[in-house]
């Protein structure tokens, strides 16, 4: 495969951008070679600057649930753009996207739009603290909540620990109000609440942890967490930036039938443009400025072009049968690959929920905690190279999940599954 144009562009990028990228995982540090520079996407396909064509399962890391260059999204964006791109004043489109989300979601009464998932989480954590008057936040090891200072932490040793920062530039004071617990472990939550419960503002969790492998939680754990939060008067915050509008219109909360107190969204809600959002029931949202004392603002918040893209995308997602169809096609794809791996006796399993999948080099039937992941990514690296050679693009790290979009028809998925199987054969032949 010729990659010289991408290689040249990467050399230039490194002159101007740290690591040549604007977000670290794009730099291909976990796989071989320079990152591919993408020049075009349409439906399931992307093309790089060397004119290689790929079936794409990265889908911009999740936002593109309708695939690339969806005609409805594109036309609505262009139509909106003809009237200008930003006003810093209210527009009708903000009402439309807000109504579409709120009217079809039993969990939230009001929503505030911002421009990224990180911003949504950061703002909603401030809201949780402002509403409750308490300081501490509980997070789980293996969940990602954007690059919010207080969330860039890992657990120390022990069941309940204060977060240790995972990035330079974060003062201890920013992380020592964050408690870190293992996933899927109610005893750890109980122990934590017994000691610190009186000062915990909220528990934040990815109800479907999908940023560090796909660590599917027992439904009983999520239900237990809800009950413990209620009993201890602690807010439950579902970070649905990846799972929102992905596994159901109402995200994981609808999928599992569990009601959180605060929710954050991002990715899909913007139709491929930068939108984040957070929502809650009326009395909590009443604390947000200008109604209440919790300050939060944004020059480009509720940007009309981004709202237009979100509306066009969500109008498609809300149609009858959309999520059943997504899940059915994904199952078809995953089953084909898992059957092949099993028949060949490969140490490999694809885990899946909704239209998300994750490739694990493991014989475990379930992986629910970060420390259960085999950190040796040598096989993934091999597989990644073989997938690229076979015309398949996935996120360039073994900790990242893949996404199936509406554009991935059964025919394309059958073809893609054959390519995955061939790539697995090559990987395990070594
Ligand atoms: C992607 C993601 C974020 C961060 O969103 P950005 O738009 O990248 O800032 C936060 N939380 C979860 C669960 C995510 O998947």
Mind listing the pLDDT tens digit for each residue in 275-295?
999 999 999 999 999 999 999
- Pocket flag, ligand 1, residue 341 (CB < 6 Å): no
pLDDT tens-place string over residues 299-330? 999 999 999 999 999 999 999 999 999 999 99
Contacts of 354 by beta carbon, 8 Å cutoff, 6+ apart? 208, 243, 246, 247, 248, 255, 323, 326, 327, 330
- At 97, the pLDDT band (50, 70, 90 cuts) reads very high
Quote the pLDDT of residue 336.
98
On whether both 164 and 284 belong to a single domain, the answer is: yes
- At 246, the pLDDT band (50, 70, 90 cuts) reads very high
From CA 35, how far away is CA 29, in angstroms rounded? Answer: 9
pLDDT tens-place string over residues 7-62? 999 999 999 999 999 999 999 999 999 999 999 999 999 999 999 999 999 999 99
Quote the pLDDT of residue 157.
75
On whether both 266 and 344 belong to a single domain, the answer is: no
Residue nearest to atom 11 of ligand 1 (CA): 145
Q: Is 384 a catalytic residue?
A: no
Quote the pLDDT of residue 206.
98
Average pLDDT, the chain: 97
Q: Cα separations (Å) of 359 from 5, 298, 369, 379, 418?
A: 29, 38, 15, 11, 15
Quote the pLDDT of residue 210.
98
| Domain's final residue, options 287, 317, 347 | 317
Region 195-206 average pLDDT? 97
Quote the pLDDT of residue 123.
98
User: Which atom of ligand 1 lies nearest, measured to the CA of 61?
Assistant: 1
| Domain's final residue, options 297, 317, 337 | 317
- Pocket flag, ligand 1, residue 121 (CB < 6 Å): yes
Contacts of 357 by beta carbon, 8 Å cutoff, 6+ apart? 57, 214, 330, 333, 334, 350, 351, 401, 402, 403, 404
User: Which atom of ligand 1 lies nearest, measured to the CA of 118?
Assistant: 9
From CA 309, how far away is CA 359, in angstroms rounded? Answer: 30
Q: Is 393 a catalytic residue?
A: no
Quote the pLDDT of residue 430.
79
Residue nearest to atom 13 of ligand 1 (CA): 241
- At 363, the pLDDT band (50, 70, 90 cuts) reads confident
Q: How many domains does the chain have?
A: 2
Quote the pLDDT of residue 163.
86
The residues that bridge with 393 in the sheet, in sequence order, are 56
Sheet holding 349-353, edge to edge: 349-353, 356-360, 402-403
- At 152, the pLDDT band (50, 70, 90 cuts) reads very high
pLDDT at 273 over 90: yes
Q: Is 267 a catalytic residue?
A: yes
- Pocket flag, ligand 1, residue 226 (CB < 6 Å): no
pLDDT at 160 over 80: no
Provide the token pair at 186. 């109610």
Contacts of 128 by beta carbon, 8 Å cutoff, 6+ apart? 137, 201, 202, 235, 237, 262
From CA 327, how far away is CA 366, in angstroms rounded? Answer: 19
Region 228-238 average pLDDT? 98
Quote the pLDDT of residue 373.
94
The CATH number of whichever domain residue 232 belongs to comes to: 3.40.640.10
Residue from 25, 60, 115, 117 whose mutation best tests the ligand 1 pocket (most atoms within 8 A of CB): 117
- Out of 56, 134, 139, 144, the active site residue is 144
Q: Cα separations (Å) of 66 from 170, 210, 247, 354?
A: 37, 19, 14, 14
On whether both 63 and 141 belong to a single domain, the answer is: no
- At 346, the pLDDT band (50, 70, 90 cuts) reads very high
On whether both 217 and 181 belong to a single domain, the answer is: yes
CA of 62 to the centre of ligand 1 (A): 10
**Listed residue (109, 322, 356, 120) closest to 216, CA to CA:** 356
Instruction: Write out the chain in H/E/C secondary structure.
Output: CCCHHHHHHHHHHHHHCHHHCCCHHHHCCCCCCCCCCEEEEEECEEEECCCCEEEECCHHHCCCCCCECCHHHHHHHHHHHCCCCCCCCCCHHHHHHHHHHHCCCCCCCEEEEECCHHHHHHHHHHHHHHHHCCCEEEEECCCCCCCCHHHCEECCCCCCEECEECCCCCCHHHHCCEEEECCCCHHHHHHHHHHHHHHEEEEEECCCCCCCCCCCCCHHHHHHHHHHHHHCCCEEEEECCCCECCCECCHHHHHHCCCCCEEEECHHHHCCCCCEEEEECHHHHCCECCCCCECCCCCCCCCHHHHHHHHHHHHHHCCCCHHHHHHHHHHHHHHHHHHHHHHHCCCCEEEEECCEEEEECCCCCCCCCHHHCCCCCHHHHHHHHHHHHCCEECCCCCCCCEECCCCCCHHHHHHHHHHHHHHHHHHHCC
From CA 310, how far away is CA 201, in angstroms rounded? Answer: 31
On whether both 47 and 114 belong to a single domain, the answer is: no
- Domain interval for residue 188: 71-317
The CATH number of whichever domain residue 366 belongs to comes to: 3.90.1150.10
Provide the token pair at 376. 């040796």
On whether both 240 and 100 belong to a single domain, the answer is: yes
On whether both 218 and 97 belong to a single domain, the answer is: yes
- Out of 134, 136, 267, 336, the active site residue is 267
- Pocket flag, ligand 1, residue 277 (CB < 6 Å): no
On whether both 303 and 349 belong to a single domain, the answer is: no
Quote the pLDDT of residue 156.
78
- Pocket flag, ligand 1, residue 204 (CB < 6 Å): no
User: Which atom of ligand 1 lies nearest, measured to the CA of 211?
Assistant: 15
- Pocket flag, ligand 1, residue 211 (CB < 6 Å): yes
| Domain's final residue, options 301, 317, 333 | 317
Q: Indicate the pTM of the whole model.
A: 0.98
On whether both 270 and 417 belong to a single domain, the answer is: no
User: Which atom of ligand 1 lies nearest, measured to the CA of 274?
Assistant: 7
Region 249-258 average pLDDT? 98
Quote the pLDDT of residue 396.
96
């Amino acid at each position: 495969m010729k990659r010289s144009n991408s290689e040249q562009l990467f050399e230039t990028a490194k002159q101007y951008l740290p690591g040549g990228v604007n977000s670290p995982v794009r730099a291909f540090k976990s796989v071989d070679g320079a990152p591919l520079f993408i020049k075009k996407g349409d439906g399931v396909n992307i093309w790089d600057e060397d004119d290689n064509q790929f079936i794409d399962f990265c889908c911009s890391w999740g936002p593109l649930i309708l695939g690339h260059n969806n005609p409805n999204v594109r036309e609505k964006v262009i139509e909106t753009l003809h009237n200008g791109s930003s006003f810093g004043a209210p527009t009708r489109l903000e009402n439309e996207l807000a109504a579409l989300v709120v009217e079809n979601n039993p969990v939230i009464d009001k929503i505030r739009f911002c421009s990224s998932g990180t911003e949504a989480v950061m703002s909603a954590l401030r809201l949780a603290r402002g509403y409750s008057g308490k300081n501490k936040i509980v997070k789980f090891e293996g969940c990602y909540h954007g690059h919010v200072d207080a969330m860039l932490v890992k657990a120390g040793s022990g069941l309940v620990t204060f977060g240790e920062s995972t990035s330079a530039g974060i003062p201890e004071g920013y992380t020592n109000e964050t408690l870190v617990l293992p996933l899927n472990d109610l005893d750890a939550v109980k122990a934590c609440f017994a000691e610190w419960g009186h000062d915990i503002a909220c528990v934040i969790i990815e109800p479907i942890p999908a940023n560090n492998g796909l660590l599917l939680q027992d439904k009983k754990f999520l239900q237990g967490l809800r009950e413990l939060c209620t009993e201890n008067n602690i807010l439950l915050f579902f970070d649905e930036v990846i799972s929102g509008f992905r596994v159901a219109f109402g995200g994981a909360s609808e999928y599992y039938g569990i009601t959180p107190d605060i929710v954050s969204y991002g990715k899909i809600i913007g139709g491929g443009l930068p939108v984040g959002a957070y929502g809650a029931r009326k009395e909590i949202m009443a604390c947000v400025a200008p109604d209440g004392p919790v300050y939060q603002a944004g020059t480009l918040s509720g940007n009309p072009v981004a709202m237009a893209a979100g509306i066009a995308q969500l109008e498609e997602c809300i149609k009858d049968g959309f999520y059943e169809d997504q899940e059915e096609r994904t199952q078809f794809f995953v089953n084909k690959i898992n059957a092949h791996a099993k028949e060949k006796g490969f140490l490999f399993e694809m885990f899946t929920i909704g239209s998300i999948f994750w490739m694990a080099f493991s014989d475990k039937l379930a992986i629910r905690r970060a420390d259960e992941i085999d950190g040796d990514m040598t096989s993934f690296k091999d597989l990644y190279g073989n997938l690229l050679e076979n015309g398949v693009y996935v996120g360039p790290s073994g900790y990242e999940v893949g996404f199936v979009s509406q554009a991935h028809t059964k025919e394309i998925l059958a073809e893609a599954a054959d390519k995955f199987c061939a790539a697995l054969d090559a990987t395990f032949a070594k």
